[in-house]
Amino acid sequence: MKFGTKAIHAGVHPDPSTGAIMTPIFQTSTYVQRSPGDHKGYEYSRTHNPTRTQLQNALAALENGKHGLCFASGMAAIDCIVKLLEPGDEVVSTNDLYGGSYRLFTKVFAKYGIKFTFVPMHDVAAVRAAMTERTKLVWAETPTNPLLHIIDIKAIAEAAHEGGALLVVDNTFATPYLQNPLDLGADVVMHSLTKYMGGHSDVVMGALIVQDDELHQRLAFLQNACGGTPGPQDCFLVLRGLKTLHIRMQRHCENGRAVAEYLRQHPKVEKVYWPGLESHPGHQVARQQMRDFGGMMSFVLKGDRVEDATAVLEKFQLFSLAESLGGVESLSGHPASMTHASIPAEERRKAGLSDSLIRLSVGIEDAEDLIEDLAQALG
Ligand SMILES: *Cc1c(COP(=O)(O)O)cnc(C)c1O
């Protein structure tokens, strides 16, 4: 089955009791049993809920996996994976990791005796060098935020498996429309469904998708034991979002290209970071492992002054200044003062995060209007 058909049909079935074509919102905490232990597969909604089951199945199908698990947020999904580990275990991760993941690793799990090492992951040799016999997880994210670095998933999977570790890929930026990490050797795909998958900026949720039955059982145990599960109404909203994922992503990619090409030739713009540009250092790997290049990008202004970036951000009419990404509407952000403010200025500069760097989540409006907005804001 092709992707668009899967997005609409895979994993979901009309409701057997009424024929309702859309998965009902099973707003219930518990389920009646005929006799003790004799039930229809549902006992308590932290453990299982039919709306969540259909969403989990749909996600598994889209990522070419066997099992999906949903959580109350992307962070709750990440939390669940790290809880597979024991004190003394080690994790190798990328040095331009999503800020919330970095905070969870270093401020929460480090104190339970789990060690995290951060390396520039587009360099596979650096990953190999950082791995020890205690390394149980390799944590990758590609493209990264906000510089859109590309990590070679196949190469990192080989390195992880040679060292006996599992590879997790945070696929939030790419979505399964652009890239399927399980097909490239990853063991777990993680999503913040809050972003492109939900797609309408109206829900916060996360997910894990795996192939292996035993790994699924260990994660499902933790999902139920720790309890960071989503409500059925939110599951319904993500299920609805998934039905248009392919057409939304197609437009995000088209608009992404139009905006990147406009910015690239603008006299006030110093540099554009978008993996679809041939000048992007990860372009070749992106062409191999992704089907297109998405709607996330960032750019730096000539002169690199914070005041200039602030002026542009204040002038935007359509690119609303807000955290988050991946919704139908275009958003703008200033990493140095917003998402990456907790990183000291010196560290930021070392990681290539200029003070005037502006991040865009290019939405699915008409490209002409988006370019007009950029022209007036930069003018
Ligand atoms: C937003 C995001 C997360 C965290 O997800 P929440 O749903 O906000 O908890 C993790 N990784 C990436 C890449 C994200 O963009």
Query: Does 218 lie in the same domain as 289?
Result: no
Query: Does 213 lie in the same domain as 352?
Result: no
pLDDT at 15 > cutoff 90: yes
Out of 62-66, 99-103, 114-118, pick the least confident. 99-103
3-state secondary structure of 49: coil
pLDDT at 115 > cutoff 90: yes
Query: Does 271 lie in the same domain as 199?
Result: no
Question: For the segment 247-282, what is each residue's pLDDT rounded down to a tens digit?
Answer: 999 999 999 999 999 999 999 999 999 999 999 999
Query: Does 155 lie in the same domain as 296?
Result: no
**Domain holding 281: CATH number?**
3.90.1150.10
Residue 43, domain extent = 3-242
Mutate to test the pocket of ligand 1, among 98, 104, 168, 325 (most ligand atoms within 8 A of CB): 98
Query: Does 170 lie in the same domain as 40?
Result: yes
Query: Does 330 lie in the same domain as 207?
Result: no
Query: Does 170 lie in the same domain as 37?
Result: yes
Question: For the segment 225-251, what is each residue's pLDDT rounded down to a tens digit?
Answer: 999 999 999 999 999 999 999 999 999
DSSP 268-329: TEEEEE-TTSTTSTTHHHHHHH-SS--SEEEEEETT--HHHHHHHHHH-SSSEE-S---SSS
Residue nearest to atom 6 of ligand 1 (CA): 74
Q: Which of 242, 260, 279 is the last residue of a domain?
A: 242
Confidence of residue 179 (pLDDT cuts 50, 70, 90): very high
**Residue 74 Cα to ligand 1 middle (Å):** 5
Count the domains in the chain. 2
Query: Does 230 lie in the same domain as 150?
Result: yes
Query: For ligand 1, is residue 100 a contact (CB within 6 Å)?
Result: yes
**Residue 308 Cα to ligand 1 middle (Å):** 28
Confidence of residue 215 (pLDDT cuts 50, 70, 90): very high
Query: For ligand 1, is residue 194 a contact (CB within 6 Å)?
Result: yes
Number of neighbours of residue 1 by Cβ within 10 angstroms: 10
Mean pLDDT in residue range 86-100: 94
Mean pLDDT in residue range 129-158: 97
Question: For the segment 307-345, what is each residue's pLDDT rounded down to a tens digit?
Answer: 999 999 999 999 999 999 999 999 999 998 888 877 778
Mean pLDDT in residue range 110-133: 96
Mean pLDDT in residue range 142-169: 97
For 171, residues 6+ apart whose C-beta sits below 8 A from its C-beta are: 63, 179, 181, 189, 190, 191
What pLDDT, on a 0 to 100 scale, did the predictor assign at position 348?
Answer: 80
Confidence of residue 123 (pLDDT cuts 50, 70, 90): very high
The packing angle between helices 213-226 and 74-82, to 10°, is: 110
Task: Evaluate the CA torsion angle 298, 302, 308, 312 in order and state its sign.
Answer: negative
Confidence of residue 353 (pLDDT cuts 50, 70, 90): confident
Q: Distance (Å, rounded) from C-alpha 161 to C-alpha 5?
A: 33
Query: Does 159 lie in the same domain as 262?
Result: no
Peptide bond into 267 cis (omega under 30): no
What's the chain's average pLDDT? Answer: 96
Q: Which of 209, 242, 275 is the last residue of a domain?
A: 242
Query: For ligand 1, is residue 73 a contact (CB within 6 Å)?
Result: yes
**Domain holding 17: CATH number?**
3.40.640.10
Q: Distance (Å, rounded) from C-alpha 74 to C-alpha 254?
A: 27
Which positions are catalytic? 46, 98, 170, 195
Confidence of residue 30 (pLDDT cuts 50, 70, 90): very high
What pLDDT, on a 0 to 100 scale, did the predictor assign at position 352?
Answer: 82
Query: Does 134 lie in the same domain as 85?
Result: yes
Q: Distance (Å, rounded) from C-alpha 150 to C-alpha 284?
A: 9
What pTM, to 2 d.p., does this model score? 0.96
Q: Distance (Å, rounded) from C-alpha 259 to C-alpha 236?
A: 32
Ligand 1 atom at minimal distance to the Cα of residue 77: 9
Query: Does 134 lie in the same domain as 11?
Result: yes
3-state secondary structure of 120: coil
Question: For the segment 357-368, what is each residue's pLDDT rounded down to a tens digit?
Answer: 999 999 999 999
Q: Which of 227, 242, 257 is the last residue of a domain?
A: 242
**Residue 173 Cα to ligand 1 middle (Å):** 9
Query: Does 153 lie in the same domain as 104?
Result: yes
pLDDT at 285 > cutoff 80: yes
